[in-house]
Copies of this chain bind each other. A is one copy, B any other.
Amino acid sequence: MSSSEIREGDDLLLFLDSKRTFLVKVKKDESFHTHKGYISFNDVIGRPYGGKVKSSLDVDFILFKPTLSDYLRKMRHATQVIYPKDTALIVNYSNIGPGSRIVEAGTGSGVLTSALAHYVRPTGKVYSYEARKERIEKARKNIERTGLMAFIELKEGDVTQRIDEENVDAVILDLATPWLVVPLADQALTVGGSFVSFSPTIEQTVKTTTALTENSFVNVETVECIMRRIRVKEGQTRPETLMIGHTGYITRARKIQKTKLT
């Protein structure tokens, strides 16, 4: 993140306001059309990041260098994508950081995969499994744009059937039947490693919790983060009227040494 000049070929975030942003590639002699007029990229090249440009309808757009959050928000996705609030908690609960090795499934559109890769840089790795082949290529395109592909291995496969890695620091799941993954997650994890699973329904959460307590896990906990946006303005401050009331439950656990039979 620097305040250098915008160059041809750069990714650029055109920012109108918090709810209206556009992630574009800067192309000489071309322009980008919005409902607030078009923007000529020739007007943009050479300007500093963080500055403004006027559209053809004289509306100001701010020129941001995209952050990872911008990329994630703009990723193309077929299915429901995980929210930042949940990504944030999953990262926190999984105890990962630079150098961590993670098994993740399913890849989906690659949003969570990219976020995890961001934090394990420069020496860690995310082994991301996806059972549906056609999704993998879409995810690859999404991820490549973020520049994080070097820290990710996309693998076709069903983690209820197979996990190749051993001694990983975390197994992180966002799929329909996480409880079926628990025995293989138990094998793949290092002792002390983290299991974290995100599920929309309470029944998934109950089944996953039961599976964890029947395998070598302790510290099994489930939380839900209810996020409220607050409209803050002197004399008119109040939570937003409409909110996302629920995304999912996050269940986490810590692997212990298997007790040997004696």
Query: Contact residues of A with B, CB < 8 Å?
Result: 1-3, 15, 17-18, 48-52, 62, 64-65, 67-69, 84-85, 87-89, 91-93, 95, 97-99, 118-119, 121-123, 167, 169, 190-193, 200-203, 205-206, 209-210, 218-230, 232-249, 251, 254-257, 259
Contact = CB atoms under 8 A, between A and B. Distances in A.
B229 A222 contact: yes
Contacts of A169: 1
Contact of A223 (B69, B206, B221, B228): B228
Contacts of A224: 227-228, 230, 239
How many subunits of this chain does the assembly comprise?
A: 4
A240 B67 CA distance: 31
A202 B121 CA distance: 37
Contacts of A15: 218-219
Contacts of A243: 242-246
A222 B3 CA distance: 26
Q: Name A's interface SS.
A: mixed
Contacts of A69: 92, 95
B91 A92 contact: yes
B233 A209 contact: yes
17 contacts: A1-B169, A1-B192, A15-B219, A18-B218, A48-B257, A69-B92, A85-B225, A97-B121, A98-B119, A122-B123, A202-B230, A225-B225, A225-B227, A226-B226, A226-B227, A241-B247, A245-B245
- 5 interchain residue pairs of minimum CB distance: A50-B191, A243-B245, A88-B92, A239-B246, A50-B257
Nearest to A168: B1
